Structure 1
Amino acid sequence: MTQQMPVQKRRTHTMEILLAEDDSGHATLVKSNLRNVGIQNKIRHFEDGQEVLNFLSEKENGGEHIDYENAYMLLLDIRMPKVSGDEVLRQVKNNPRLQLMPVIMLTTTDEPQEVRRCHELGCNDYITKPVDYDEFVEVIRRLGMFLQIVCVPPLEE
């Protein structure tokens, strides 16, 4: 007679989307169009790079902060006030506790040297926001479709 081992229940993780975007119009479009394609994940909006770094720090800084048992994906604009997106990216990818977090650059900049530099710093993907409204909506719709199928692990098990 073999003895059955108890099945360990794994906690399921819901990925939280961190949106770092200083343009409130773009942030609203991103959030509403992700919702339109069925994304129900929590979306936390940051208006500058320092807000992102404060949230990602291990200190509460008087407000909410990251929970390392959760999964996150960072949608990151490059040109932001206080701390630039590429500096946020550099700090995330150089932090052993954060480096597994997927970072997707979502920016109007399509200069080849910027794309290359962000990939060298460790971004997972680079998406250029079109200037045309309908094209912008379509890009976000496709991003939403990607977010529906992607698997992201928690920062720490």
Structure 2
Amino acid sequence: MDYDNVEILFVEDSKDDAVLTIRALTKSGFANKLHHVVDGAEALDFIYCRGAYSSRNPSEFPKLILLDLKMPKVSGTEVLERIKSDPVNKSIPVVMLTSSNEGPDIEKCFALGANSYIVKPVDSDNFFHTIKEIGLYWMILSQPAH
């Protein structure tokens, strides 16, 4: 895969949620340059061109990061904090896409610099619609910082 043209970095450890999200993005026309990783450690390797991604061009940034909150190895909040505290990567929009609707989680993510916090709908029709709207807003309507 050509990792230098990734537009959406999708970080999700749940196989079921990943399949639903990728299907919704594909049907909406937003998945052609999507790369899915399964935990926060792999996300950081991708962003910082380490490990399996060491040959990726460090000057190519995803246009959007869809980030789950609760993951093994490195949590979504740790990934978010790393990205938003880094002057090079802080302008990449990060959308928390999670099943947690707990106030402290939401507050912490916004305090760390999340651009949006979206609770995954349980119903598959609503889930599809939500993912389509995320793609439309962040990939088409929103203007990038760099």
Relative to the length of structure 2, the TM-score reads 0.86
User: SS where residue 114 of structure 1 aligns?
Assistant: helix
Residue of structure 2 equivalent to 1:151: 143
Residue of structure 2 equivalent to 1:105: 96
Letter of the 1:61 partner, please give it.
Answer: G
The alignment covers a number of residue pairs equal to: 140
Residue of structure 2 equivalent to 1:139: 130
Q: Is the 8 A contact 2:83 2:90 kept in 1?
A: yes
Give deviations 1:66-93, integer Å, cap 9, x for gaps.
Answer: 5324443110000011000000000001
Q: % of aligned pairs identical?
A: 37
Cα displacement (A) at 1:153: 4.3
Residue of structure 2 equivalent to 1:95: 86
Q: Structure 1: how far apart are the matches of 2:13 and 2:63?
A: 19
Give deviations 1:54-113, integer Å, cap 9, x for gaps.
Answer: 11124x324354532444311000001100000000000111111111100000001111
> Is 75-84 or 139-148 further displaced after alignment?
139-148
Structure 1 residues not aligned, in runs of 5+: 1-13
Do residues 50 (structure 1) and 41 (structure 2) align?
Answer: yes
- Higher-Rg structure is 1
Q: Is the 8 A contact 2:96 2:117 kept in 1?
A: yes
Letter of the 1:145 partner, please give it.
Answer: L
User: SS where residue 19 of structure 1 aligns?
Assistant: strand
Bigger share in helix: 2
Relative to the length of structure 1, the TM-score reads 0.80
Aligned residues: CA RMSD: 1.9
Do residues 34 (structure 1) and 32 (structure 2) align?
Answer: no
Q: Is the 8 A contact 1:105 1:126 kept in 2?
A: yes
